[in-house]
C-alpha cells in the first residue's frame, strides 16, 4: 500500500506513522506530496506506472521503557495532585523536536518554575514524561493503571503535545458546576494573550485514561499552523523551536498549573456522560 503523505507540507520529506490495522499483512509506505502528485500525473497521462519500492522497516519486539515522574510537593495538601505531562518517545526520522521535545521542555520548565517559587502552591505538581505515546500510549495506560486508587486525588491534568508554538486559548473538562473556578483560572492567562474559548476540552492521548477515571482536563490550545507540516517527518528538528515563543507556552502551562494547585476549591469530577464523549 502506497499512500500520499498525510502531512500538510508540500516538500519531499513524507510524514510517517502507524497503520490502524495491526496485522502487518499489508506493507505500507507513504510518499511525499510532490511525488504522489507526480505519480498521479503519470497515471493520468500514461495509465500505467512502474514503482520500485525498497522498504527497510521492521517491527521490533516490545521492550521495556519507563515513564519519568517528578514532583514539587504542595505546602498544604501534598496528597492532591496537578499533573502536567508530555511524551518522551518520537518517530525517529527527525529529532522529535516539536513532537514531543517541545512538550517535554514546557512541562519541565513548569516544574522548574514551581521548584523556584519562594512559597510552594497548596497542592503537589506532578510532571510526567510518558513512555510510548506514538505506538500505543502504553505509558499513559500504565500510569492510569498504577494510579487508579489515587485518581480521585488528581485535581487536574494537562498535556503538552502540540509543538512549541504559542498558547492562544484555554478550555477545560470538569464538573460544569465548577465553571466559575475555571473562569478564574482562565482570567490569569489573559495577560499572556490566552483566551477562554469554551468548556469542551479535547484531552490529549496521554491524559485520556485519566479523563476516563474522572480527572478534570485543562486544555491549553497551541498554534498548530506549522505542526502538521513538520511532525512525524525528517523535518522535525530543533531549528523549528523559537525560544521566545516556547517561553510563552511554558508560562501559560505554568500559570494554569499554579492556579489549579493554589485554588481553594477544585474542579470536581468529570461527569460520566462527558467522559464517554471522549472515549
Interface contacts to Zn ion, rule CB under 5 A: 99-100, 161
Are 157 and 219 within 8 A, CB to CB? no
| Residue nearer to Zn ion on the CB measure, 103 or 121 | 103
Are 124 and 74 within 8 A, CB to CB? yes
Closest distance to Zn ion from the beta carbon of 231 (Å) = 7
Pairing of strands 2-4, 68-72: unpaired
| Residue nearer to Zn ion on the CB measure, 80 or 100 | 100
Closest CA to 89 of 136, 57, 56, 125: 136
- Catalytic-role residue among 80, 133, 134, 159: 133
Closest distance to Zn ion from the beta carbon of 189 (Å) = 23
Is residue 133 annotated as a catalytic residue, yes or no?
yes
Closest distance to Zn ion from the beta carbon of 107 (Å) = 13
Query: How far is the CA of 166 from the CAs of 65, 157, 226, in angstroms?
Result: 31, 19, 11
C-alpha cell recorded at residue 268: 470536581
Query: How far is the CA of 127 from the CAs of 66, 111, 112, 142, 253, in angstroms?
Result: 14, 7, 10, 15, 12
| Residue nearer to Zn ion on the CB measure, 88 or 254 | 88
| Beta pairing partners, 225 | none
Closest distance to Zn ion from the beta carbon of 100 (Å) = 4
| Residue nearer to Zn ion on the CB measure, 161 or 165 | 161
Q: Which residues are marked as active site?
A: 133
Amino acid at each position: 500500500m502506497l499512500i500520499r503523505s498525510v502531512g500538510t507540507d508540500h516538500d519531499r520529506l513524507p510524514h510517517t506513522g502507524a497503520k490502524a490495522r495491526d496485522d502487518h499483512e499489508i506493507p505500507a509506505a507513504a510518499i511525499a506530496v510532490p511525488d504522489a502528485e507526480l505519480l498521479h500525473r503519470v497515471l493520468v497521462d500514461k495509465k500505467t506506472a512502474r514503482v520500485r519500492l525498497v522498504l527497510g522497516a521492521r517491527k521490533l519486539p516490545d521492550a521495556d521503557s519507563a515513564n519519568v515522574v517528578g514532583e514539587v510537593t504542595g505546602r498544604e495538601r501534598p496528597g492532591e495532585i496537578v499533573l502536567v505531562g508530555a511524551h518522551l518517545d518520537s518517530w525517529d526520522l527527525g529529532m522529535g523536536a516539536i513532537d514531543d521535545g517541545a512538550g517535554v521542555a514546557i512541562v519541565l520548565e513548569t516544574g522548574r518554575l514551581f521548584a523556584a517559587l519562594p512559597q510552594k502552591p497548596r497542592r503537589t505538581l506532578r510532571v510526567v514524561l510518558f513512555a510510548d505515546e506514538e505506538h500505543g500510549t502504553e505509558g499513559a495506560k500504565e500510569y492510569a493503571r498504577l494510579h487508579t486508587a489515587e485518581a480521585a486525588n488528581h485535581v487536574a491534568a494537562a498535556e503538552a503535545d502540540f509543538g512549541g508554538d504559542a498558547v492562544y486559548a484555554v478550555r477545560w473538562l470538569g464538573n460544569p458546576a465548577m465553571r466559575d473556578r475555571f473562569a478564574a483560572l482562565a482570567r490569569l492567562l489573559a495577560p499572556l494573550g490566552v483566551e477562554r474559548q469554551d468548556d469542551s476540552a479535547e484531552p490529549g492521548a496521554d491524559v485520556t485514561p485519566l479523563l476516563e477515571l474522572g480527572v478534570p482536563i485543562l486544555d491549553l490550545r497551541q498554534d498548530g499552523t506549522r505542526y502538521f507540516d513538520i511532525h512525524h517527518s525528517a523535518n522535525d528538528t530543533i531549528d523549528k523551536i523559537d525560544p521566545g515563543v516556547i517561553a510563552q507556552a511554558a508560562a501559560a502551562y505554568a500559570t494554569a498549573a499554579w492556579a489549579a494547585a493554589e485554588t481553594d476549591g477544585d474542579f470536581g469530577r468529570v461527569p460520566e456522560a462527558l467522559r464517554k464523549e471522549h472515549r
